[in-house]
Amino acid sequence: MVQMASGADFEANLAQAQRLIARAAAQGAGLVVLPENFAVMGLSEQDKFARRETEGSGPIQDLLSAQAAKHRIWIVGGTLPMASNESTRTYASCLLFDASGARVARYDKVHLFDVTLEPSGEEYMESRSTVPGDRVVVVDTPFGRLGLAVCYDLRFPEMFRAMLDRGVELIAVPSAFTAFTGKAHWEILVRARALENQCFVLAAAQSGEHGNGRRTYGDSMIVDPWGVVMDRLPQGPGVVTVECDRAHQERIRSSFPAVRHRRRSLISGGGNAGADAGDQPGSQVQV
């Protein structure tokens, strides 16, 4: 996990990301996850519109592709603003690049942060500048079937159950939790999504003060399928690197088969869309 304190200086954000990706790769990481808004944390929500990119073109995508190929690693590229058909809104897109630098998956953030935090007086209306996505994304990787989610998605367990129906084994969650909500809910939500789905959850966060006046919580962490925090970085820029033992996950799912004990008949619209054994590495399932 890469933790950052991104600001209004676009080039500085890219340089910081590049340094931290290199540090993670030097520590042996094969999969690196960047936080939400890692490249663009503007002074206003509209600032990111000026940095929007089109499919397959732009400095943010170029950086992610080049770093993945240079270090021979897979990169979950946090989020970046991708162009939409609307004149004032972009998608908040999480892109996955493989070790050759090829982009193999895209997830557009589904749940948008439109909330008022009464105790702190903070108000966020992400939908004013962001178009919501409408698909769950799970993709085959050398590390297992990887699900992609972003920040506020953590509060919607049905989305992660949909990933589970598609055979998910680890979940990347680039985030930028506020300091206020993070203190109350961050660890609880990350650990809950891990243990209830018996997955590794890789939660990379923003941390610190940002030029737009926002304060983010940090505490990037990697949680195992038993809900145990394997390692974390409470504050400040840096990396968290651990080895995720797939055999450990298999033992948990075999001896404590909670994911097989689900009663789908109790859930309206429930289904049994499992993983396709014929999927090839790099293929993605989008529903």
Question: Which residues are tagged catalytic?
Answer: 36, 109, 151
3-state DSSP call for residue 23? helix
User: Max CA-CA distance within the chain?
Assistant: 52
**Is 169 within 8 Å of 146 (Cβ atoms)?**
yes
Of the candidates 244, 217, 208, the one whose C-alpha atom is nearest the C-alpha of residue 229 is 244
Tokens of 167: 């055979």
Side-chain half-sphere exposure of 283, counting CA atoms within 13 A: 9
Q: Which residues contact 220 (CB under 8 A, 6 or more apart)?
A: 1, 2, 3, 35, 203, 204, 205, 207, 232, 233, 240
**DSSP letters of 188-227?**
HHHHHHHHHHT-EEEE-BBEEE-TTS-EEE--EEEE-TTS
**Is 101 within 8 Å of 69 (Cβ atoms)?**
yes
